[in-house]
A and B are shown apart, each in its own frame.
Chain A
Amino acid sequence: MKRTLLAAALLAAMTVYAQPPAWQQGRPPAMADSKLAPLAGRNTETPASEIPIGKVKLPKGFTAEIWATGMPGGRAMARGDSGKIYMGTRGLGRVYEVTDEGSRRTSRVVVDKLTQPSGVAMHGGSLYVFAIDKVLRYDGIEKNPNVQPVDLTDRFNLPPQQHHNWKYIAFGPDGKLYVPFGAPCNICEPPPEYAQIRRYNADGSGMEVIARGVRNTQGFTWHPRTKQLWFTDHGRDWMGDKGPEDELNRITKVGLNFGYPYCHAKGVLDAEIKKKDACQGVTLPVTTMGPHAAAMGVIFYTGSMFPKEYQNTMFIARKGSWNRAVKFGFDVANVRPSKDGRKATVKPFMTGFLEDPKTAKFWGRPAYLLQMPDGALLVSDEQLGAIYRVSYAKK
């Protein structure tokens, strides 16, 4: 009954936007016959023996090992105080809990049957789970694995459209919960509650829109010193192999506009949604992250394990392109911002997942990153449902 009511409410909400302005799939005539399509994910488990970890390439002194397997579709990772790691998924609808037992890792499913519960965050001992249409909080879950969730859905006023509305979430240094609401299309003039980043108090109150013109951010973090928020944003599809490139942005104050749908990357005008002075008042990215790269998880490295040159630099996982004839990304990049934070250099750091860009031959797709207390870097592979550990030792 409850589900029927919910479905009815969803349908009612949808009809409001039955004909949004300038809805476009965005496909120029030249690409009408293109065969590009999203790359297939896997819903089944991949054992460690089928993961060719030896193909990973890293700078000298770094090593990658398979740290955990058996979490199909695992994406963002949130680590609790006791060391348990929670992982969200999209299509498979699960949230995993990964437990480090020293010599090996085990995992269990905390919750399933959710609609793309990709957003996970730990805060004050509670696990927050964001699906497209549901928000759950598990209090004290690390100590009490059977704790029943508190349903916070009603407090967050989630809009009805699903596309690009699976979440990455994180708590900021201000204790607020940051939640993106992506554009519900490839390219369109989004209805007012989309294409933005919001923040809330932990209980869902006090909502503020802090940034607009954000197409689809799937990763953000705060600079360890300036406490400014840095986020990745996926560029639109179907404008060709050159881009527009994904963005790495910095929020210096509340209320900035990052350009979507009119102005992309470093001032690329949209091919279909046009307006006069499209880039006027738009905050351009610190740097671009490559065409269709799918820049995802982002961290600032503050650990003591890696060489000094990596201190306070960024690692950004690029899951890899689909909307591009020659594939790009499928790596973890090291990004070094300038002192004033206005520019940055991007250099591939962990590669080898993409074996042939021309035939789209790849075996893994790095998606998210987590710095461990010992300074090692965990990298989730959404394609194979695995976590790799990158460590450094002077040789």
Chain B
Amino acid sequence: MRSSSKGRWAWLTALFIAPALAQSLPERLQLCDACHGPGGISAIAGTPSLAGQPPIFLENQLVLLREGMREVPQMAASVQGLKDAEIRLIARHYAAQRPTAPQGKPNPALMKQGAVLAQKLHCASCHGADYHGREQMPRLAAQREEYLEHAMNGYRRYTRRGGDTMMAAALYGVSDADVKALAHYLAHFR
């Protein structure tokens, strides 16, 4: 639901301070930050940045990880037993963080190749002209390059479940080299 009712906010606020939680929200977030980086800006290869991701995207992914739909061994223990309400709070937290530009200089040839591909594949249609993502569709700009490649390969090889099959269709027939170029371009997009 897009419009959040007053009642829900009151309820979430109550939950935020409820001592009954196994772990408080700050404790949870510390756990997330340990791998995803302070403020959700990851410095670890293979671990995605969370800062500035749309809240619905984060919410959906956390549910899929909790349910074991997305099988990510490193995440299994952290998301076990998370309540839907806690997931909403974590999602809101990282959505509100500011992403920073990625490390490393862009490669002009790859940037050019990636830009042409992104236009041909209409990536911006869903992910936005600024690639900041929206709703269930993730932010791509400033995401870690190797993670973008990993995620795209997951969609086209059907190893990442729980997403819309539209991503598999969008990447259908795209070569490995082109996926690499796309990842480079999107990671460095400003």
Interface residues of A (CB under 8 A from B): 7, 10-11, 18-20, 23, 25, 27, 32-46, 49-50, 72, 91-94, 112-113, 115-116, 132-133, 161-166, 184-186, 361, 363, 383-384
Contact = CB atoms under 8 A, between A and B. Distances in A.
B158 A162 contact: yes
B97 interface: no
Nearest to A355: B3
A43 B61 CA distance: 9
Interface in B142-182: 157-159, 161-166, 168-170, 172-173
Interface in B58-77: 59-60, 63-64, 67-69
B41 interface: no
22 contacts: A7-B158, A18-B173, A23-B172, A23-B173, A25-B170, A36-B125, A37-B134, A37-B135, A38-B126, A38-B166, A39-B135, A42-B60, A43-B59, A50-B5, A91-B64, A93-B162, A94-B67, A113-B161, A161-B168, A162-B168, A363-B1, A363-B3
A92 B63 contact: yes
Given A7-B157, A43-B60, 20 more contacts: A10-B158, A18-B173, A25-B122, A33-B125, A35-B125, A38-B136, A40-B56, A41-B60, A42-B1, A42-B56, A44-B59, A44-B84, A45-B84, A50-B5, A72-B63, A112-B67, A115-B158, A163-B169, A163-B172, A184-B169
For chain B, which range describes its interface: under 10, 10 to 19, 20 to 34, or 35 or more residues? 35 or more
B121 A25 contact: yes
A350 to B, nearest CB: 19
Interface of B: 1-3, 5, 7-8, 56, 59-60, 63-64, 67-69, 84, 87-88, 119, 121-122, 124-126, 128-129, 134-137, 157-159, 161-166, 168-170, 172-173
Nearest to A35: B125
A166 B165 CA distance: 9
A92 B88 CA distance: 17
7 closest pairs, A vs B, by CB? A40-B136, A43-B63, A37-B126, A40-B135, A163-B169, A44-B84, A163-B165
B162 A92 contact: yes
